[in-house]
Amino acid sequence: MAIMRINNFFLAVLLCIVVISFAGCISDDSTTETTTQAPTTSAPTTIAPTTAAPSLDVEVISYTGRNDEFGQYILYGEVMNHLDYNLGRVKITASYYDDQDQFIGSYFTFTEITTMVPGQKSPFVLTTYPDSFTPDKVELEVSYESAINPVYEGIVIIDQQGMQDQDGYFVVNGEVQNNGDSTVIFVKLMCTYYDIDGKVIATEYSFSAKDELRPGETSTFEVIPFLYKFTPASYDIQVQASPK
């Protein structure tokens, strides 16, 4: 009888071990399922590159900085829209640092072209006015908004030429025409000037001689960068206008 009780005891222990092992297997399986579902709950983190992308989607192609005659530091630069939709309020913020990497100040401006279509470049000018200093380091950031207003595409440059005038200023003059169906105002001409390596060295803008252009009308224009004298290796000129 003692041997039978011992055998029954070992049989009960063995049965408990089997039950515990089976329960452990069930617990492990449910944990595995939770783990495989985890990527679903954490998937929104894949959106992060979209929020971090503006520095790539709207690129500062190049810029040049120099002090003007009053000691204020001026940046001339150019940005490009790499996105597939129109952009507005494209803002460039510059942070300046001294030779000890100490922060001096921060200033901002907007691109000269108010609405940038996909693939378009726009010049910008950023000044430290009224502060005067020469930074040792510049950091640029770009922000923007999507633009819902359509761009008026009827205004075109039909003639232009650039040359040095007798005073040593590089002058671009020419003629624009309104080929669209609407009367336009604020016909703005924007020039970007480059060195031999294609780096921006200056920008300037002006408006057409006529305040408004009806469909089919033309107007002359002249763009002169009066801040300083230079001879660019090349330049680019763009025009924009607003329907009246």
Residue ranges per structural domain of the chain: 52-146, 155-243
- Could you give the strand order of the β-sheet that contains 73-81, starting from the edge strand earlier in sequence? 58-67, 73-81, 121-127
Percent of the chain with pLDDT over 90: 75
Q: Is the fold of 52-146 the same as that of 155-243?
A: yes
pLDDT classification of 149: cutoffs 50, 70, 90: confident
Asked whether the predicted pLDDT for residue 13 surpasses 50, the reply is no
Contact 184, 178 (CB under 8 A): yes
Asked whether the predicted pLDDT for residue 49 surpasses 80, the reply is no
Average pLDDT, the chain: 82
Asked whether the predicted pLDDT for residue 17 surpasses 90, the reply is no
Domain 52-146 has CATH 2.60.40.3080: no
CA 130 – CA 74 distance, rounded (Å): 11
Q: How many CA atoms lie within 13 A of 131 on its CB side?
A: 11
Instruction: Summarize pLDDT for 156-175 with one digit per residue, the tens.
Output: 999 999 999 999 999 999 99
Q: What is the mean predicted confidence (pLDDT) over 209-225?
A: 97
Cis ω for the linkage preceding 130 (within 30 of 0): yes
Q: How many CA atoms lie within 13 A of 123 on its CB side?
A: 24
Residue 150 is predicted with a pLDDT of 87
Contacts of 33 (CB under 8 A, 6+ apart): none
How many CB atoms are located within 10 Å of the residue 85 CB? 11
Q: What is the mean predicted confidence (pLDDT) over 218-244?
A: 95
Asked whether the predicted pLDDT for residue 33 surpasses 60, the reply is no
Tell me, what DSSP letter sits at residue 97? E
Asked whether the predicted pLDDT for residue 204 surpasses 70, the reply is yes
Asked whether the predicted pLDDT for residue 39 surpasses 50, the reply is no
Enter the tokens of residue 92: 């460039």
Closest CA to 206 of 171, 166, 155, 169: 171
CA 234 – CA 174 distance, rounded (Å): 16
CA 71 – CA 109 distance, rounded (Å): 19
Q: What is the mean predicted confidence (pLDDT) over 113-137?
A: 97
Residue 29 is predicted with a pLDDT of 35
Asked whether the predicted pLDDT for residue 2 surpasses 90, the reply is no
DSSP-based three-state secondary structure for 241: strand
Contacts of 242 (CB under 8 A, 6+ apart): 152, 184, 185, 186
CA 233 – CA 238 distance, rounded (Å): 17
Domain 155-243 has CATH 2.40.50.140: no
Instruction: Summarize pLDDT for 97-119 with one digit per residue, the tens.
Output: 999 999 999 999 999 999 999 99
Enter the tokens of residue 53: 């992308």
DSSP-based three-state secondary structure for 229: coil
